[in-house]
Structure 1
């Protein structure tokens, strides 16, 4: 267990999460404002990658589990590249979980995880300019708007935000 909130468990991904991840990363509507849906056959390798990332770097993208149902309803956490001093915050949720404040609750918990890690200095995030819900989450969490930035994976300019967590 990485973190617990009132309604959620945030935990390291597991091989058994591949099936629920099809409803998240494999769903074109969910991922339509990102780089698009991930092919289902790639999901096991992605899960392995994020488990290894957590083991080696202490941060990763995590499963978000609804306490009441025990179901994986989303993912939230950190894309770690070369360093964990500055990491990308990401989050994706199944359609059935939209509009319930669960993304904010999970992402807020992830920000707490980053703050508790003594190496992370800055989080950054972006979202499709039309994804007003995600942009509001970032602003509510205190992320500062830096400006528009080009992203090759989505092939567009997106609002780019940073949060100092030192």
Structure 2
């Protein structure tokens, strides 16, 4: 299931609503995509921190919105084209909650490598080519890494990659 939320809602803002949805154990499989007229860094940062799997501006074309929903359902993170990796790197650098020092200790060396590649923005297909494995194997590594770290989606995996120091701004693997 996917919920589309407006960042500015009258009774409860979209960020607070997102926190409620993503914090409810009964709704753990529900993905949230934020819609806004504002592409401000602070909104993007807080949406991701709140657990949103995607962030789109309201002028997104209907066919692109449909692709976005499908991508989020498939477990991918989605950011509006104007929202760049720079925002993720800046977000991680400014993170309010530091990652535990041993956050990655439960990962295998291959899972850390895959996490770093996700952190620099590679798709499963690109990871598969880089590691000379099948796309299904790459997807399995990504999924296992997410499960071990309790990440809801790839966006949170990217944030954890930066927060843990596994990936640094400007690093291209």
Query: What is the TM-score normalised by the length of structure 2?
Result: 0.30
More helix, by proportion: 2
Which is higher, the Rg of structure 1 or of structure 2?
2
Query: What is the TM-score normalised by the length of structure 1?
Result: 0.31
